[in-house]
A and B are shown apart, each in its own frame.
Chain A
Amino acid sequence: MTRKLLFGTLVALILVPTSSDAHRPQTFDADEIITDPTISWTLPGTFETGAELYEFELEYEAPFTAPFEIFSPTSGGNAAFRPRYAVIGPGFPEPTNDVLEQLPEGVTVPEGSGVFLELNDAPERYVFFEGVMRRVLVSSGTIALRLAAGQHKVVIWAPAQTTGRFMFGFGVEENFEGGGFDGVFENWSAFAY
């Protein structure tokens, strides 16, 4: 009877359907940061001085829609940190002077490009439990952006030279082919704690 019970448990394990919507981990020091902009990615970073600027580029051959958000890991008193980001590229509204003033120093908007600006300043932000790596993160809020064909640049910075850790996430399609977890093992503390 006990053996049958054990066998039944093993069969049940195999039959349980599994799925997830995990982002592919990547780091900003990679030779090519985003190798395929149509899959989902997550990138961790740290503002040690608050003056750092994180950037990466996205090149789309056709219009593409994807959700974007920036997270603050809650460990180590980091929950109050509110990093900002902007997506600069064709198809977004032409920036007003107010928007241009909000961008960090040295960031320019090419002619013909517009800006999506996320100031991450909502009074209430939602707390997200990320079950793959068991992280608790505070999100700027998910927003779906319609990206026109062409080259886009994502810029991430800290307001008023505040310091803290962040994880930037975008995209939907899960894809870990070709060493998709390599970034995790090489940067364990950034992803796992």
Chain B
Amino acid sequence: MLTKSAFFCVFIAASVGQASDNFLGIDKRRLTVGAPLEVDVVGFAVGVHPELLWRPFSEDSGLRLRAASALKLGSEYTLLAPVSLGVRWQTSSVRLVQAELGTGLQWKAFLVPDSGAHQRVDWYWEAGLSARIASAHRVGLMAVPEFGLANITAGGLSGTFGLGLALRVTWSMAL
């Protein structure tokens, strides 16, 4: 089920670029897709973290809603994050260099050999810079501190604490 969810999210992000003026009823000009490479430096893991950003208020707004999905391979586990939901503020996209700040929640599943899936909800923060390399394309770097909030178990949610820090090399394309 987790794998299907991840593929669904990746599929949506990838297929947005091929749609016409609208995607699921949303004006494409308000959408941005991204495909960052990501490295976890707390518990080593490397993978991709495709994302879809939507400006809900106006085309010029700095506020974007973010949906993302991640798959990372580590030395001790495979990390699948089927869904992340959050917000990201970005300075003007007209400028060559753009600053970015974000926050949100992420559903994670640490797939551990001989121990199963350890699922939890993390609270993440984002801080980064990106530079325009073409009219609609940007690349950049981003740091993502993460804090485990709640374990997801068969009995429901239970409070927990966990640390995380991911570093991203970002690429994004405004549609």
Contacts and interface: CB of A to CB of B under 8 A. Distances in A.
Interface in B137-175: 148-151, 157, 159-164
Nearest to B76: A136
Interface in B27-74: 40-44, 56-57, 65
Interface in B71-126: 75-77, 87, 105, 110, 112-115, 118, 120-121, 123
Contacts of A175: none
A105 B15 CA distance: 66
Given A73-B76, A134-B164, A192-B42, A16 B150 contact: yes
Contacts of B160: 18-20, 131
Interface in A111-165: 127-129, 131-136
Contacts of B159: 16-19
B42 A134 contact: yes
B154 to A, nearest CB: 16
Contacts of B162: 20, 131-132, 134
A56 interface: no
A158 B150 CA distance: 37
A27 B98 CA distance: 42
Contact of A132 (B40, B65, B77, B161): B161
Most buried by B among A18, A127, A133, A134: A134
A44 to B, nearest CB: 14
B68 to A, nearest CB: 15
Nearest to A191: B42
B112 A20 contact: no
Contacts of A6: 87
A73 B159 CA distance: 25
Contacts of B105: 9, 13
B118 A129 contact: yes
Nearest to A16: B149
A74 interface: yes
B115 A19 contact: no
Given A75-B76, A135-B76, A193-B75, A127 B115 contact: yes
A74 B76 CA distance: 6
B161 A19 contact: yes
A127 B114 contact: yes
A136 B161 contact: no
A43 interface: no
B40 A134 contact: yes
Given A18-B159, A18-B161, A131 B112 contact: no
Interface of B: 40-44, 56-57, 65, 75-77, 87, 105, 110, 112-115, 118, 120-121, 123, 148-151, 157, 159-164
27 contacts: A2-B56, A6-B87, A16-B121, A16-B159, A18-B149, A18-B159, A18-B161, A19-B160, A19-B161, A22-B161, A74-B76, A75-B44, A76-B75, A131-B118, A131-B160, A131-B161, A131-B162, A132-B148, A132-B163, A134-B40, A134-B43, A134-B76, A134-B110, A134-B164, A136-B77, A136-B112, A193-B75
Interface of A: 2, 6, 9, 13, 16-20, 22, 73-76, 127-129, 131-136, 192-193
